[in-house]
């Protein structure tokens, strides 16, 4: 008997391949760093989110090594059963203190944290509002909540205001990437908070790309704007600038306690290995003292933008380490990415559906692990490509 569903998948794969949209993985044979080993070659990498160069930092590695004999490897259970370790708890306490919010809860991933917050705060009778360029996990969270989901054009706060004014929902929640992951621009959080205050809504700030990078001491986008409000739910991922894995939600104490009761992606999953929390505690310390890394990173961003602009590439209005170069067609973007790879440089081609159709781009991300000479090599290769 023919298996129709499998045949459909096979034609789907063929179609993706023909459109240049078949996603494939690359295998790293080294630690995450400015230079990585792939397929036996050393490549200069501009594609990680390891903005501060902490993924392979000795202080974090030492914290893991020290924690291992004490804590073992696996957590063995979910947090509410017997998986919650003093290391997890110590990280949550320190994190809340660090970002100046009353309480915090550790999640296994940012994706799960976003699902948790949205589904715990709104249901069928609620309405969720989101920027069209928000991360997929925020969109999925809105869908999972079964609330009405209204999206507005990127940064169009007038459109958001109209939607909020027209809403009759019992509870409202605005979702936003503080730093947009594919464009690198920073959301106008003060204006968003003002709208939330005017229309009695929650504001979920996804600071995946801002925590560690923006704000005094790397405290993130809320610190960058000097914002504080009980309406704000702050979500930082910990696998990017923090160099480890996981995510943390910080908010009012009662909101955190509510998440602990209601967040299915917290309750029904095994706790992360506690030794990762030991690494995260070390990471917080490094982040707080990493002004030199952040200054170096800003200088690299300026060097790259100046050089690319001089070569005539189309850039976006981004002052963050996320520096997209807009190409347009999938094929041309792939061709430039391949030309860079031939020159020993790894820059990913980002295509739809991750970004809008006809806006395929090279997504260059910089890290404090890069040197000015590394950026000069990239500029030279871009000139050749």
Binding site for ligand PMP (CB under 6 A): 109-111, 114, 135, 137, 177, 181, 206, 208, 237, 239, 247
Q: Residue 20 region, left (φ>0) first, then alpha (ψ -120 to 50), else beta?
A: left
> Is 209 a residue of the active site?
yes
Which residue is catalytic, options 88, 209, 224, 370? Answer: 209
Closest-by-Cβ residue to ligand PMP is: 110
Which residue is catalytic, options 88, 172, 240, 296? Answer: 240
163 vs 204, beta carbon nearer ligand PMP: 204
Quick one: tokens of 353?
């559906």
Which residue is catalytic, options 45, 150, 181, 221? Answer: 181
Quick one: tokens of 130?
């989101």
Q: DSSP for 214-270, please give it.
A: SSGGG--HHHHHT---TTEEEEEESSSTTSS--EEEEE-HHHHHHHHHH-HHHHTSB
Q: Which residues line the annotated binding site for pyridoxal 5'-phosphate?
A: 110-111, 181, 209, 237
Nearest distance in Å: CB 70, ligand PMP = 26
Nearest distance in Å: CB 135, ligand PMP = 4
Quick one: tokens of 58?
């000795």
75 vs 238, beta carbon nearer ligand PMP: 238
208 vs 271, beta carbon nearer ligand PMP: 208
32 vs 137, beta carbon nearer ligand PMP: 137
Nearest distance in Å: CB 379, ligand PMP = 26
Quick one: tokens of 204?
């979920």
The CB density around residue 268, as the number of other CB atoms within 10 Å, is 9
> Is 277 a residue of the active site?
no
- What is the Rg, in whole angstroms, of the alpha carbon atoms belonging to the chain? 21
Q: Which residues line the annotated binding site?
A: 23, 110-111, 135, 181, 209, 237, 354
126 vs 130, beta carbon nearer ligand PMP: 130
Distance CA 30, CA 27 (A): 9
Distance CA 329, CA 339 (A): 16
Strands 322-328 and 314-315: antiparallel
Q: Which residues line the annotated binding site for substrate?
A: 23, 135, 354
> Is 240 a residue of the active site?
yes
**Closest Cα to residue 347, out of 358, 360, 357?**
360
Residue 350, beta-bridge partner list: 361
Nearest distance in Å: CB 354, ligand PMP = 10
Nearest distance in Å: CB 9, ligand PMP = 25
Show Cβ contacts of residue 26 under 8 Å, excluding neighbours closer than 6 positions: 38, 39, 346
**Closest Cα to residue 214, out of 284, 100, 300, 319?**
319
Q: Give the residue numbers marked as catalytic.
A: 181, 209, 240
């Amino acid at each position: 008997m023919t298996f129709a569903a499998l045949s459909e998948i096979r034609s789907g794969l063929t179609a993706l391949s023909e459109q240049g949209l078949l996603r494939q993985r690359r295998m790293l044979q080294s630690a995450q760093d400015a230079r990585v080993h792939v397929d036996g070659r050393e490549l200069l990498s501009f594609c990680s989110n390891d903005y501060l160069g902490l993924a392979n930092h000795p202080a974090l590695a030492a914290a893991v090594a020290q924690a291992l004999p004490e804590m073992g490897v696996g957590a063995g259970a979910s947090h509410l059963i017997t998986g919650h370790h003093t290391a997890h708890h110590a990280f949550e306490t320190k994190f809340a203190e660090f970002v100046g919010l009353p309480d915090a809860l550790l999640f296994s991933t940012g994706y799960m944290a976003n699902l948790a917050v949205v589904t715990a705060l709104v249901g069928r009778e609620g309405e969720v509002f989101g920027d069209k360029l928000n991360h997929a996990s925020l969109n999925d969270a809105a869908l999972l909540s079964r609330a009405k989901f209204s999206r507005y054009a990127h940064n169009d706060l007038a459109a958001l205001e109209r939607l909020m004014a027209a809403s009759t929902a019992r509870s409202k929640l605005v979702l936003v990437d503080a730093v947009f992951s594919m464009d690198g621009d920073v959301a106008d959080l003060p204006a968003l908070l003002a709208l939330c205050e005017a229309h009695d809504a929650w504001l979920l700030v996804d600071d995946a790309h801002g925590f560690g990078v923006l704000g005094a001491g790397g405290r993130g986008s809320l610190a960058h704007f000097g914002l504080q409000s009980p309406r704000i739910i702050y979500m930082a991922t910990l696998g990017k600038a923090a160099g480890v894995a996981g995510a943390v939600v910080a908010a009012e104490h009662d909101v955190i306690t509510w998440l602990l009761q209601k967040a299915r992606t917290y309750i029904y999953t095994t706790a992360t290995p506690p030794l990762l929390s030991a690494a995260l505690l070390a990471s917080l310390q490094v982040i707080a003292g990493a002004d030199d890394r952040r200054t170096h990173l800003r200088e690299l961003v300026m060097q790259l933008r100046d050089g690319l602009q001089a070569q005539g590439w189309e850039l976006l209005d981004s002052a963050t380490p996320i520096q997209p170069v807009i190409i347009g067609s999938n094929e041309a973007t792939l061709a430039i990415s391949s030309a860079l790879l031939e020159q020993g440089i790894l820059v990913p081609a980002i295509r739809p559906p991750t970004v809008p159709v006809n806006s395929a781009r090279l997504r260059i991300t910089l890290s404090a692990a890069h040197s000015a000479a590394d950026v000069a090599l990239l500029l030279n290769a871009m000139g050749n490509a």
